[in-house]
């Protein structure tokens, strides 16, 4: 169970650090932290890196389903449906083709991540070549804002991420830097979904998605 107290940096009475936001939102592979690939911080994302982004996120959802509480079945089903489409792509698929495949699969599942399928469609259309900050921001323009009072948890995480991508475009920073800003904004939005001390797992999953994009 993911609790808001777990997302705050604080020390216990013995002076030892308790679980922090880094612990819960850190990109993991087989239980170990994943670091950015050397030499790719300033490069746009080609098809190989976008595919690594997606498969890394899929693996994250499957490996950490125990942290997703009652939403785990729907979130896992969405990830697997999208991955089925991605797996059918030919070798050397372009970024737009990968995102289009994710959109097709995600749209088949009427679950809490369904609103993101539209964003993946927009991202696929924006990507005529490699993925840069411009393409990320262009797709983010189509993110639907939640109504006053909160709205769907997926949007509570996605809307701040979209704003961060727009800011990154204005600042003309590289794609990985833009995704880092989007991840941090999504993580802040996820904290805002806490009810009774429990952070919504759907919003947490959105934060994981953007974070995974920072290490390809």
What residue ranges define each of the domains in the chain, with the CATH number in brackets?
Answer: 45-212 (1.25.40.340)
pLDDT band at 16 (very low <50, low <70, confident <90, very high): very low
pLDDT score recorded for residue 43: 86
pLDDT score recorded for residue 41: 77
30-76: pLDDT as tens digits? 566 556 566 577 889 999 999 999 999 999 999 999 989 889 999 99
| pLDDT mean across residues, the chain | 82
pLDDT over threshold 90, residue 209? yes
CA distance linking residue 158 with residue 164, whole number of Å:
10
92-125: pLDDT as tens digits? 999 999 999 999 999 998 888 887 888 899 999 9
% of the chain residues with pLDDT over 70 = 78
Q: Which residue has the higher pLDDT, 24 or 111?
A: 111
pLDDT score recorded for residue 17: 31
- 28 neighbors 64 (Cβ within 8 angstroms): yes
Q: Which residue has the higher pLDDT, 192 or 10?
A: 192
Q: Is 64 exposed, middle or buried (0-12, 13-18, 19+ CB in 10 A)?
A: middle
pLDDT average, residue stretch 20-24: 40
pLDDT score recorded for residue 48: 94
Show the tokens assigned to 148. Answer: 């006053």
128-151: pLDDT as tens digits? 999 999 999 999 888 876 655 556
CA distance linking residue 201 with residue 70, whole number of Å:
8
Q: Is 171 exposed, middle or buried (0-12, 13-18, 19+ CB in 10 A)?
A: exposed
pLDDT average, residue stretch 170-189: 92
pLDDT score recorded for residue 153: 87
């Amino acid at each position: 169970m993911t609790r808001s107290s777990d997302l705050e940096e604080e020390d216990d009475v013995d002076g030892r650090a308790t679980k922090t936001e880094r612990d819960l939102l850190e990109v993991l592979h087989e239980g170990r932290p994943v670091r950015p690939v050397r030499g790719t911080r300033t490069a746009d994302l080609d098809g190989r890196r976008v595919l690594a982004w997606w498969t890394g996120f899929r693996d994250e959802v499957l490996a950490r389903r125990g942290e997703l509480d009652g939403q785990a079945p729907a979130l896992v089903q969405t990830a697997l449906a999208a991955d089925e489409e991605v797996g059918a792509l030919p070798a050397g698929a372009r970024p737009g083709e990968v995102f289009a495949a994710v959109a097709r699969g995600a749209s088949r599942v009427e679950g809490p991540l369904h609103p993101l399928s539209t964003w993946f469609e927009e991202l696929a259309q924006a990507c005529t070549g490699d993925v840069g900050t411009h393409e990320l921001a262009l797709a983010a323009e189509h993110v639907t804002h939640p109504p006053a009072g909160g709205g769907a948890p997926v949007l509570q995480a996605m809307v701040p991420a979209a704003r961060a991508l727009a800011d990154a475009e204005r600042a003309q920073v590289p794609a990985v830097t833009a995704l880092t800003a989007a991840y941090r904004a999504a993580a802040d939005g996820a904290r805002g979904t806490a009810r009774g001390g429990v952070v919504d797992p759907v919003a947490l999953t959105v934060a994981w998605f953007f974070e995974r994009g920072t290490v390809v």
